[in-house]
Amino acid sequence: MNCSPIMCQPQYYVRNYYVARVVPYVHPIVNIKRRVIVNVPQHYYVPMTRNVVVDPGCPGGGCY
């Protein structure tokens, strides 16, 4: 008597191999150059000439 073979479910042996893939991550950097205006006083001296008349009064103490 010959029996037919019984087929079982296959068994799987999985071997994982990993391959590196470069994924770029871009981090933008913003450089800001600020020019801050600061008010600085600058003094100018302007010479002026005035004619002033000084009356010393009358000689001897009084004017008549």
Give 16-30 pLDDT, tens digit per residue: 999 999 999 999 999
Query: How many Å apart are CA 30 and CA 33, to the nearest integer?
Result: 10
Give 2-18 pLDDT, tens digit per residue: 888 889 999 999 999 99
- Give the residue, 42 or 56, on which the prediction is more confident: 42
CA 53, 58, 61, 64 torsion-angle sign: negative
- Angle, CA 54 vertex, CA 49 and CA 59 arms, to 5°: 160
- Give the residue, 41 or 63, on which the prediction is more confident: 41
Query: How many Å apart are CA 56 and CA 63, to the nearest integer?
Result: 11
Give 32-51 pLDDT, tens digit per residue: 999 999 999 999 999 999 99
